[in-house]
Copies of this chain bind each other. A is one copy, B any other.
Amino acid sequence: MPSKLTHEEAEALVISDDPEHPANLISELCRDFYKLGWVTGTGGGISIRQGEHVYLAPSGVQKERIKPEHIFVLPFAQSSVPKPGSKRDFLRIPSKKGLSESQCTPLFWNAFTMRQAGACIHTHSQHAVMLTLLHPRDAQSFKISHQEMIKGVRIGGVGKTLSFFNTLEIPIIDNTAVEEDLTESMAAAMEEYPDAPAILVRRHGVYVWGNTWEQAKTQSECLDYLFEIAVKMLLAKLPLVGDN
């Protein structure tokens, strides 16, 4: 946990006049996501990786009230894999008492290491959760096709955008008691579904990533739109795949 940086250097990592600085963006985007119902009740959040720095919100706080000075900064290259419960290397730890890094840390790392993502968003959107509830208990994935909004989603979250006629498929994994315990099953699903731009977690929410925060955000919006309309279609007994 010790940082090689002086206090001034560490603070400079999160204090900036640039609204596009990751510490400012995370604060702003969490406020926006709160209004969308994605991160209420302290759930959900976003992590941004900029080169060798990873910016993280704290765990268990009101996401819509995060300030830049609450942001953790970690070196992307950790001295050991950031496994659940593992001790991590930090460049900057907020001075406010009682804050610990997001419990999603190893899950965000999955996106950074397995997809070279520049940002990863986690939401508790009810559209995502209802969608998993409306799938049979043993369903391995959610599929949808013939929707314009599919065109806003990239192959594997970071490749070329999908076509209107492609079928989008997103794996659904089971939830666990502790958030970090999703690390391995999320990684396994990402390996089994290399084209998937996101991972749905049954009765919990979704993880979405992208090359940049802009792509992670716009893909989260496209996917949330698709989850919402898929729920409506299932309730109206309309098929999700095909155009009939």
Residue numbers of A with Cβ under 8 A of B are 37, 40-43, 62, 124, 126, 129-130, 133-134, 137, 146-149, 152, 163-165, 175-177, 201, 203-205, 214, 217-219, 221-222, 224-225, 228-229, 232-233, 235-236, 238, 243-244
Contact indicator A164/B177 (Cβ below 8 Å):
yes
Q: A152-B42, A225-B41 are in contact. Are A164 and B147 (CB under 8 A)?
A: no
Q: How far is the CA of A232 from the CA of B221 in the complex (A)?
A: 22
Residues of B within 8 A of A236 (CB): 133-134, 235
Residues of B within 8 A of A203 (CB): 146-148, 164, 243
* Complex: chain B residue closest to A233, CB-CB: B133
Residues of B within 8 A of A222 (CB): 40-41, 43
Q: A62-B218, A214-B62 are in contact. Are A137 and B40 (CB under 8 A)?
A: no
Q: How far is the CA of A189 from the CA of B206 in the complex (A)?
A: 36
Instruction: Give the oligomeric copy count.
Output: 4
Q: How far is the CA of A132 from the CA of B115 in the complex (A)?
A: 36
Q: How far is the CA of A225 from the CA of B205 in the complex (A)?
A: 13
CB distance from A187 to the nearest CB of B (A): 19
Given contacts A40-B222, A41-B152, 6 further A-B contacts (CB under 8 A): A37-B225, A40-B224, A43-B152, A129-B147, A137-B243, A164-B203
Contact indicator A205/B124 (Cβ below 8 Å):
no
Contact indicator B43/A148 (Cβ below 8 Å):
yes
CB distance from A89 to the nearest CB of B (A): 27
Residues of B within 8 A of A149 (CB): 41, 43, 124
Q: List 27 A-B contacts (CB under 8 A).
A: A37-B225, A40-B222, A40-B224, A41-B152, A41-B218, A41-B222, A41-B225, A43-B148, A62-B218, A124-B149, A124-B225, A126-B225, A126-B229, A129-B147, A130-B229, A133-B233, A134-B236, A146-B175, A146-B203, A148-B175, A148-B201, A148-B205, A163-B177, A164-B176, A164-B203, A203-B243, A235-B236
